[in-house]
Structure 1
Amino acid sequence: MTTLKQAWVIVRSEFHGDRWKLLWALLFSLLFMGYFAALSGMVIDDTLTGHDKQLLSDILMVTMMLMLTITFSRRTMKYISEDSYTRMLAYMRALPVPVAAILCKRKLDTLLAVAMNSTLFFSLIYLLSPGIRAELPPASYLAFAFTWIGYSLIVAGMYIIIEFSVSGVMYFWIISAVMLLALGVSGLVYLAGGNILLATVAVSKEWGLLSPLMWGALALGMLSIQLFSRWTIHRLKSRDLV
C-alpha cells in the first residue's frame, strides 16, 4: 500500500469512528467562518470605497488566513490543557505505519481543512459583500481567493513542524508569535502607504486566473508544506513522546 493510501485510510477511519467529529467540525466552521465572513465583507466594502479602514481589512484577512488550515475539533480546542497533539502523535507512532504516512495524513488534514474553511469563508464574503462583487467578476474573485489561500498554505507548513515538535503550551506561544509577526507585517505595509488587500484585488482584477501572484502564492504554499514536512520527518524520528 502506498504512503498516500495509508494516510487516506487513517483519515477515513478517524471520521468513520467518530461521525460526530465531522458534524462538529462542519458546524463550528460554518458559525466561525460565517461570522468573520460577514465582518470581513463589511470591512472590505469600506476599504474598496475608500473609507479609512484599510489597516483593519489587512488585519482581518491575514488573521483569517492563519485560521484556514485549522480543523475545528475537540483535539484542536484541547491542545493546551490535554496536549492533544502530542497524544495524537504518540498514538499514530504506535500504529504499524511509516513516519511518512503520518506526515502524509497530516498534509491531507491540512488540505481538507483549507478546502472546507476557504469554501465557506470566500463564498460567504462574495455573497455578503456587494462591493467586492461589483469590483471583481467571478474569475477574478477566484484568483483573489486562491491568492489568499496560497498565503495560508505557506503558513500551514510551519504549523505542521511546530505541531509535531513541541508541547501544546509551547505550540500556543509559537503560534501567538507567528500571529503577532503577521500582524506586524500588515502594520509595516500600512505605514509604508500600501495595503495587501487592495494590491491583491488589483492584481486579481487585471490578470484573472492568470494572476502571477495567485500562482506564485499557491506554488510557495505547496513548497512550504513539502519542505517543512521533510524537516518534520527527521524531528519525528528523534522526538521523545513520553
Structure 2
Amino acid sequence: MEAIKAEFVITGGARRDQDKIMTIMKQAWTITRQDLRNNPYVLLWTLLFTMYLGFTISFVVSIELGKSGALNPAADFVMLVLTPFLGFIYNHRTFKYLQEDSYTHMLAFLRTLPILVSAVIMSRIQQAILAFVGNSVVFFMLLFTLSGTLRVYAGPGFFISFALTWIGYGMLIQALYIYLEFLRRGKAYFWLSLVIMVICGMISVIVRIYGANLVSITAVFIKEWQLLSPVMWGALAMGSLAILVSYRITLRRLVRRDLA
C-alpha cells in the first residue's frame, strides 16, 4: 500500500493534465498492479481455487447429464453459484473480508491517496476482467476434459460459446459482488452473498419442477448455434451492462459512504 502512495505522490501533478478517462484507467491500473505485487502468492491461490471449482463442477455435471438423464438440480446450482467466483482474484483481502472487514479498510486507505474514487472502482473491474480471462481458461478446460457428457458436443465453437455464455452470467452476478464490496461491511457482505446463493438454489429447484435443466439447455442450444448463439451474445451483453450499471451506482454512493 505504501508503494501505491509513493507512486501517486510522484506522478500526481503530471496526471492532472491528462484526459480524465485515461487518468482513471492509469490510476486504476496502478492500484491493480501494486495489489498483485503486494500479494506474491495470489496467482497460486487463485489457480488452486479455480482448479478446485473445475474439478467439483465437472463431476456434478457428469452426474447431472449422465445416461440416466436425471434432472437433479445440483448441476444448475453449482454453476449458478460458483461461476461468478471466476471473477475474483484470491488474496488475503478476499479470504479475510468477514473477520477483518478488509474491503472497508482498503477503501479507507485508498481514500487518503490523491486518486479518483472512480479509479478505485475501475481497478476492481480490471481485476475482475483479468480473473475471468485467466480463471476461465483453467476452469473450462478442466470442465470439458473431465466431464465426458460435455465432450459429446465436441468442437471448438461449442466450447468457446458455452464458456462465454456462462462467463456472461458470471459477470452479471459479479456486478452485484462489486457493489457489495464497496458499499457494505464484511458481515453484511457475507449475509447478502448467502441470499444470492439461496436465490440460485430457488432458481435451480423451480427449473427442476418444470422438468428442465439450465446446463443441458445451454449445451443443446449452443450446439445448434455455436458462436452465433443469441444466448451467448445476450449473456455477454447483459453481463457487460450489469458491470457498467454497477460502476455508476457504486461510484455515486461510494463518494458519500462513511468509512469510519
| Alignment TM class, shorter chain as reference | over 0.9
Q: Give, in whole Å, the separation in 1 of the partners of 2:64 and 2:140.
A: 12
Number of the residue aligned with 1:33: 53
| Aligned with residue 12 of structure 1, among 3, 17, 33 | 33
Q: Could you state the TM-score of these two structures normalised by the residue count of structure 2?
A: 0.86
- How many matched pairs? 239
Residue identity in the other structure for 1:171: Y
Q: Give, in whole Å, the separation in 2 of the partners of 1:198 and 1:38.
A: 13
Residue identity in the other structure for 1:181: I
> What does residue range 1-242 of structure 1 map to in structure 2 within 5 Å?
1=15, 2=22, 3-30=24-51, 32-46=52-66, 49-242=67-260
Moved more, 103-112 or 53-62: 53-62
C-alpha change, 1:73 and 1:150, in structure 2 (3 Å) is same
Contact 2:61–2:75 (CA<8 Å) still a contact in 1?
A: no
Q: Give, in whole Å, the separation in 1 of the partners of 2:242 and 2:184.
A: 19
What fraction of aligned residue pairs are identical, expressed as a percent?
Answer: 37
C-alpha change, 1:72 and 1:41, in structure 2 (3 Å) is same
Q: Cα deviation per residue 1:109-147 (whole Å; 9 max; x = unaligned)?
A: 111222222221111011112221112422112111111
SS at match of 1:94: coil
Cα RMSD of the aligned pairs, angstroms, is 1.6
C-alpha change, 1:28 and 1:58, in structure 2 (3 Å) is closer
Q: Cα deviation per residue 1:42-76 (whole Å; 9 max; x = unaligned)?
A: 33542xx3431441221121122232222222111
Q: Give, in whole Å, the separation in 2 of the partners of 1:23 and 1:171.
A: 25
SS at match of 1:97: coil
Q: Give, in whole Å, the separation in 2 of the partners of 1:34 and 1:198.
A: 17
Contact 1:34–1:121 (CA<8 Å) still a contact in 2?
A: yes
C-alpha change, 1:29 and 1:195, in structure 2 (3 Å) is closer
Q: Give, in whole Å, the separation in 1 of the partners of 2:256 and 2:179.
A: 13
C-alpha change, 1:38 and 1:189, in structure 2 (3 Å) is closer
Q: Give, in whole Å, the separation in 1 of the partners of 2:247 and 2:198.
A: 24
Q: Give, in whole Å, the separation in 1 of the partners of 2:79 and 2:71.
A: 13
Contact 2:171–2:242 (CA<8 Å) still a contact in 1?
A: yes
- Structure 1 position 38, deviation (Å): 3.9
Where in structure 1 are there 5+ consecutive unaligned residues?
none
C-alpha change, 1:228 and 1:79, in structure 2 (3 Å) is same
C-alpha change, 1:45 and 1:157, in structure 2 (3 Å) is same
Moved more, 9-18 or 74-83: 9-18
Larger Rg: 2
Q: Cα deviation per residue 1:74-108 (whole Å; 9 max; x = unaligned)?
A: 11111111001111111221221101111110101
Contact 2:179–2:246 (CA<8 Å) still a contact in 1?
A: yes
